[in-house]
Amino acid sequence: MSQKLYVCIALFIETERVSDWGNGLMSEGEFLDITEIRRQQAQDFECITNNGVAPPDTRRVKVTVNYAPMITDVKNMPGQLGKTAVLRCEAMAVPTAMFEWYKDDRRLVENDSTLKIKNEKTRSLLLFNNVTDKHFGNYTCFASNPLGASNASMLLFPFTPHNLWF
């Protein structure tokens, strides 16, 4: 799937269409269409417009590349009965991802004092206070924005001295 980005760049362009500039760049009117762009190409550009009458105008244009969430970090974690535990889900996305948590295909909500969801800009934390047997199991983090979604599963499992591997 080809991504497109439209950036308003020209205040004084007289021609209606400029031919293909190569490298996936096409200008039409006041917009620059950049296809096949990668998020690593997001940066500031200097745009110079010239209509041959007035002096050239130079402006800085910030190019932001939008992309669907990609979950970058999840870990299975041991939990100890009566203690606190945390499951963490990190996702990169533009615009910023919205997070949801699920256990056994059921969306989690903060319904008692033993479970809290803390959403931050690039990550979501599932905080367990006073871990009980009902907390152990498989959890799914779901990250979404208008361009798509991603999910990853992780385990909160009972702590034993044998699973101290981190």
* pLDDT tens per residue across span 46-105: 777 778 888 888 888 788 888 999 999 998 899 999 999 999 999 999 999 999 999 988
Nearest to 32 by CA among 56, 55, 63: 63
**What single letter denotes the amino acid at residue 32?**
L
Pair 123, 80 in one domain:
yes
Token pair, residue 69, equals: 């969430």
DSSP label of 2: -
Gap between the terminal Cα atoms of the chain? 39
Q: Which of 65, 87, 108 is the endpoint of a domain?
A: 65
Q: Which of 25, 42, 65 is the endpoint of a domain?
A: 65
Instruction: Please answer whether residues 64 and 77 qualify as being in contact, where contact means their C-beta atoms are separated by less than 8 angstroms.
Output: no
Pair 81, 158 in one domain:
yes
Q: Which of 43, 65, 87 is the endpoint of a domain?
A: 65
User: pTM for the whole thing?
Assistant: 0.70
Token pair, residue 33, equals: 């269409």
Pair 48, 110 in one domain:
no
* pLDDT tens per residue across span 14-53: 333 333 344 555 555 656 666 777 878 788 877 777 788 8
Long-range contacts of 38-45 (CB under 8 A, 24+ apart): 38/65, 39/65, 39/67, 39/94, 41/65, 42/94
Token pair, residue 131, equals: 């871990």
Q: Which pLDDT does position 72 carry in this prediction?
A: 94
Pair 21, 86 in one domain:
no
Pair 84, 52 in one domain:
no
Cα 80 to chain centroid, rounded: 32
Q: Which pLDDT does position 23 carry in this prediction?
A: 53
Q: Which stretches of 53-136 are assigned E, i.e. beta strand? A: 57-63, 67-74, 77-79, 85-94, 98-103, 106-107, 115-119, 123-128
In terms of residue numbers, what domain contains 101? 68-163
How many C-beta atoms lie closer than 10 Å to residue 128's C-beta?
Answer: 19
Helix (H, G, I), strand (E, B) or coil at 133: helix
C-alpha torsion 113→118→124→127, nearest 10: -30
